[in-house]
Structure 1
Amino acid sequence: MRQSEAEKCDSDASDFEKHGFAWHDDPRNPYNWSFGKKWRVTILSCFITFLVGLNGTAMTAASDDINAQFDVSDEHFPNSFWPVFSWTLSAGIVPLAILPLMETFGVRKAYLVVYVLFVVFIVPQACAQNFATLIVTRIITGGCAGILENITSGICGDLWEDALTRSLPISLYIFSLLSGTTIGPVIGGAIMTTLEWRWVFYVQIILYVIIFPFVFFLLPETRGEIIASEGLQDGHQGINNASTIALFKSAIGRPLRMLTTEPVVLCSTLWSSFCFGNALIYTQSIPLVYRTLYNFSAPSTGLVQAALVIGIAIGLLISPLQDRFYARSGDKTSPDAHKPEARLYLAIPASFFGLAGGLFLYAFTTSESHPQPWIAPTIGIALVGIGIQTVMTAASHYVEDAYPTYAASAIAGVAAGENIVGACLPLASTALYTRLGFVGGSVLLAGIGCGVSFVPVAFVVFGPWIRSKSRLAATQGLGCSESVV
C-alpha cells in the first residue's frame, strides 16, 4: 500500500512508541549512538563490502591458467568471463528478494549467516575439478556478496538520520563497492606472480576467516524496529505468511516498476550502470590491450587495474566538495530543504572529462599501429576511475533524495541495473575490440559515455519539473526518509 511521506513518518514514530522506544531520546536508537560507534559500524560494513568484492574479480588475473586447467578458450568469445558474469548477475538479483526480509526481521543474524555461506562456497571454487563447478558456486557466492554489499547502504541509513550526514558514509560505501571489485585483479595478479591459480581462492578463504570474529563481535543489530522489540513477545506478531508474500511482491515489484516508469530512476540507472559496466569491462580489455601492445604478462595486466583504483580513490577524496554544494542548496528559511539536483553539480564535469575523457585518452593512446607509452592509457584508466566514483555516488544520492519515501526501492532498481549491465557488457569485449580494433572499440564506449553524460545536465535543468510530474518523487524539501536498504 502506497504511503505518503508524512504517513510514513507518523507510522514509524508510532511503531517505536508502541514498543516503548523513545525515538528521539532513547540511547538504544541507532540515531542516538555515539559518533564513534556509528563510524565503527559504518567502516566495518564498508570494509566487508570491499573484501567480498575481491571474490568477484580476483580470479580474472588467473584466467589463462584456469582456461588451461579446464580446456576453455577465449579465441572467439570471452568464456573465461562466465564465472565473473554469473557472480555479478547473481549479486544484482538475489538482494532484491533477501534485503527486504533483513529490513523486516533484522540485519545482524542474517548478515552472519550469509557471511558464513559466502566463505563456505569459496572452498569448492578453490578445489574445483571442472569449469561448471566454478560457475555454479560463483552464483552462490555472488548472491551472498550482493547481500553483504547492498545491505551496507541500509546500515548507513539506519545509523545516519538525515541526507547531509549520510553523504560521507554513502560515498565511502560506493568507494568500497567499486574499489573491492576493481582491485580484485590487482590482488589476483600479485598472488599469481609466485603461486598457482587455486591460491587466489585460498588466500581469500584465509582472509575471510580471519575477519569473521571482528564481524561477529563488532557488528550489532542496526534496525531500530528490531532493537525496540527485543524481549517483547509481540515484536513480530503481525508478520505471517500472507504479509511475507506481500513483502516479496513489494520488494521485487516496486523497484522494477520504478525502473520502468520513473524517468529519474531509469536515466540514473543507465548513467550509473554504464560506469559500473566500464569498471568490469577493464578486466577484459586491459589484458587484451596490454598483452598485445606492451607484452605484459597476465599477472602484470592485473596490476594495471591499480590505476582504476587510484582514480576511484581520488573520486572519493573530492566527494566532500560535492557535499558542500549540496549543503549550500538549502533554502535560507528552511536549511534542511536541500535541492536534490545539487547532488549532480560535480558529477557533470566528472562524467564528461573523467569518464568520457578518460575513455577517449585510453582509445587514442592504444593505436595498434602507433601505440603510446603504456603510462598514457594508464592515465586514461585513472581518469575513468575518478568519473566512475563521482558519477555512481551522485546517482545514488540523487535517486535517494528524489524519492525519500521510496528510497530503498529506487536504489534497489538502480543497483539491479548496475549489476546486470556490469555482468553483460564485458561479454561483448572480445567482439568489440576484435571487430573495431582497440581504438574503435574504446571510441565507441567513449561516445556512449559522452551521451550518458548529458543525463545530469538534463536533471539539473529539468529535474524539478520531472519530479513534479511523479506521484512518488519529492517535490520540495527532504524530511523523513525510508531506510536505504
Structure 2
Amino acid sequence: MMFTRGDISHDIDEVHNHANPTTDIEIVDWDGPRDPGNPYNWSLLQKWTMTILASFTTFITMMNGTIITVAHEAINEEFGISDASFPNSYWPVASWALGGACFVILILPLMEDFGVRYVFLFTWLAFICFVIPQAVAQSFATLVVTRFFAGGCVSILANTSATVTGNIWDSEKARNIPVSLYIIGYVAGSSIGPVIGAPIFQFLSWRWIGYLQLIWLGALFPVYFFLFKECRGIAILGKRAKKLREQGRLAYTQHELDSEGSSMWRIIVRSSTRPVIMFFTESVVFVSVMWSSFTIGTLYLFTQSVEQVFAGLYGWSAAQCGYVQGAIVIGEIIGWAASLFSAKLYFSSASRNKEVPGTPIPEARLYLAIVGGIFGLSGGMFIYAWTSYPDLPWIAPAIGLGVVGAGSVIVVTGISDYIVDSYAKYSGSAIGIAACGENIFSAFVPLAAMAMYSNLGFQWASTLLAFISLALSFAPTLFIVYGKEIRARSPFMREAMVERKNSFDTV
C-alpha cells in the first residue's frame, strides 16, 4: 500500500518515454459493483462488527478525559496543588482536551492516505504509553504533559468511528443508527468518566484509575488487532496496486496518481487549513461549531460544578458526586433513543423539497435538535439551577442533569447529521473544526466554574448557562427559514446539493 512520490514520478516518466501511457498504466479499481473487497459490499456481520468496535472505542477512550476528576483532592494533596483561588486541579483535563484540539486537525488527515487500520492500531499503542504516566506520575507537571498527548491519541481513536461509518455504510439511511452510536459513545464516554472513577477512587486509590485503564486497554488490543480490518477504500486498492507492482506491472490507483507531487506536509496543511477557512467564511459552520462546542463544554463543566453544588448543599464526598453524574448518562441514553425519531422527520421532508425534489431537506436534521436545545439543554439547566437548595431532595437537581444529558445527545446528533448532509465531501473539514472547538471549550469553560458558582451562586450561575444555551438554540432557526438562500451563497453547499441529488437518483 505504501509508495513514494518519486517512485510514481519515475514510473510515469518511463511510460512517457517508451510507451503509450494510456495503455501501459493500469488503473486499479474495484472488480465491478459487487467486488467483495469493497467495504460497501461487506456482509452485515462484518459491518456491524466494525461499527460496534469503533463505537466502543469512542466510548472507552473518551472516558479517559474525565475519569480522573473525582480524585482531584487526593492528587492536589500528593503534589501540593491548591484550588483556593483557581481550579488548578482541572489542568490535567484541560491539557487533555487541548491535545485533542491539536491532534484532530493535524493527525487525523493521515487516515486519508494511509488508511484506518494501521493509524488506529499505532495510536492505540501510543495511547497506552501515555496512560502509564497517569498511573505512576511523580509530579503534577508529568500528569499535565502526558495527558496532553493522551488526549491527542483519543481524538484520533474516538473520531475513527465516524470515519469507519462513512467507509462501510453507503447510504444516509444505512448510516443513521451507526452515526447515532458514535454520538452516544462520544458524549456518554465523557460523562461516565466520573461515574466509573468514583468506585475505583473510593475503594482503591487515584493511581488505580490509571492502572485499571491500562489493564482493559491492554486486554482489548488483541481483539482490535484481529477484528479491526482496513475499511478505507483507497487503502485497500493501494494494497492491491502494490501487489501488482511487485509482479512487474505498472499499476496504480487513481488516488496515487492524483496525489503525485503532493508531499505529506502539503496534504496535512491543506487538510488543516480548510476547516479554519470554513469556520470563518461559512455561517452554518460557525454557528454549528459554537452550538456543539458549548454543549460539550457544558458536560465537562459538570465535572466541576456538580461536586461544588452537591458537596455544598448536601455535604457529599467526591465519590458520591461522581456517582450522581450517572444521571447525565441516563439522560443521554434517553436522548439517543429520541434522536432516532429525527431520521423519520428528515426523510419525510423529501416530499416537501421543492429545491431538489426527491431528496430530504438538510435543515430537517435541525428540527429535533432545536427542540432538544431549548427544552433539553436550556430547560435542564433551569431545573438544575432552581432546585439547587438544601431543603430540596438531591434527586431534583439530578433530574436537571439528566434532562441536560438528553438534550446534549439530541443537539450534537442533529448538528453532526446536518453538517454531513449540507457539506458532503467537505463534511470532514466541518466535523474536524467542530471537534476542535468542542475540545477547546471543554478545556477552558470548566475553568470558570468555580468562580461562577462561588460569585453568582448556584442558582444564577446555572441560569446564565441556560440563557446562553437558549440563545444558541434559537440561532439555527434562521437556517430553517433562510436555508435555500444560505446554500445558494455557499460554494461548498452548492456542490454538496448536486452530489446529494446524484446519490439519491442513483438509489
Output aligned runs, 1:201-350, within 5 Å. 201-233=210-242, 234=252, 238=257, 239=259, 242-331=262-351, 337-350=359-372
As a proportion of its length, which structure holds more helix?
2
TM-score, structure 2 as length reference: 0.88
Change (3 A) 1:81 1:189: same
Rate the CA distance shift 1:163–1:237 in 2: closer, same or farther, 3 A. closer
Matched, 1:352 2:374: yes
Contact 1:280-1:426 at 8 Å conserved across structures: yes
Shift of 1:245: 2.3
1:361-420 Cα distance to aligned partner (Å, 9 max, x none): 0001114xx542110000000000011000001001101111013111111111111111
Which of these residues, 71, 75, 79, is aligned with residue 66 of structure 1?
A: 75
Q: Please point out which of 470, 483, 489 is paired with 1:463.
A: 483
Q: Structure 2 regions of 5+ residues with no counterpart?
A: 1-25, 243-251
Structure 1 residues 335 and 318: alpha-carbon distance in aligned structure 2, compared to 1, 3 A threshold: farther
Distance (Å, rounded) in 1 between the aligned partners of 2:226 and 2:54: 13
Of the candidates 22, 33, 39, which is equivalent to residue 48 of structure 2? 39
Post-superposition CA distance 1:417-451 (Å, at most 9, x none): 11111111001111111111111110100110110
Greater RCO structure (CA 8 Å; 6+ sep): 1
2:12 corresponds to: none
**Native 8 Å contact 1:347 1:456 kept in 2:** no
The size of the alignment, in residue pairs, is: 463
Which residue matches 1:379?
A: 399
Tell me the alpha carbon deviations over residues 112-169 of structure 1, each in whole angstroms, 9 at most, x when there is no partner. Answer: 0100010111111100011000011101111000000112111110011122221211
**Corresponding residue for residue 78 of structure 1:** 87
Runs of 5+ consecutive residues of structure 1 not aligned to the other structure: 1-16
The equivalent residue for 1:5 is: none
Q: Report Cα offsets for 1:28-62 as digits up to 9, x if no partner.
A: 11111111211110010110111111111100011
Query: Helix, strand or coil: the match of 1:309?
Result: helix
Q: Residue type matched to 2:281 in 1?
A: T
Secondary structure, counterpart of 2:174 in structure 1? coil
252 and 470 in structure 1: CA distance in 2 versus 1, 3 angstrom threshold: same
Q: 1:85 to 1:265 in 2, by over 3 A?
A: same
Give the Å deviation of 1:23. Answer: 5.7
Change (3 A) 1:162 1:237: closer
CA contact (8 A) 1:404 1:479 kept: no
Q: Distance in 1 between matches of 2:281 and 2:31?
A: 38
| Aligned residue number for residue 196 of structure 1 | 205
Distance 1:212 1:157, change over 3 A: same
Q: Which has the larger radius of gyration?
A: 2
2:104 touches 2:435 (CA, 8 Å); kept in 1?
A: no
Say if 1:405 and 1:480, in contact at 8 Å, map to a contact too. no
Q: CA deviation at 1:243?
A: 3.1
C-alpha distance 222-23 of structure 1, shift in aligned 2 (>3 A) = farther
Q: Alpha-carbon deviations, 1:86-122, whole Å to 9, x = none?
A: 0011112212111111111111011101000101111
| 1:365 corresponds to 2:393 | no
Contact 2:422 2:497 (C-alpha < 8 Å) held by counterparts: no
**How big is the shift at 1:241?**
7.1
Using the TM superposition, name which of 156-165 and 469-478 deviates more.
Answer: 469-478
**Distance in 2 between residues matched to 1:92 and 1:164, nearest whole Å:** 30
Name the aligned partner's letter for residue 291 of structure 2: W
Does residue 172 of structure 2 align to residue 163 of structure 1? Answer: yes
Contact residue 49 and residue 152 of structure 1 kept, 8 A: yes
The RMSD of aligned alpha carbons is 1.8
The equivalent position to 2:436 in structure 1, one of 378, 399, 416, is 416
Distance in 1 separating the partners of 2:131 and 2:497: 47
**Identity between Structure 1 and Structure 2 (%):** 44
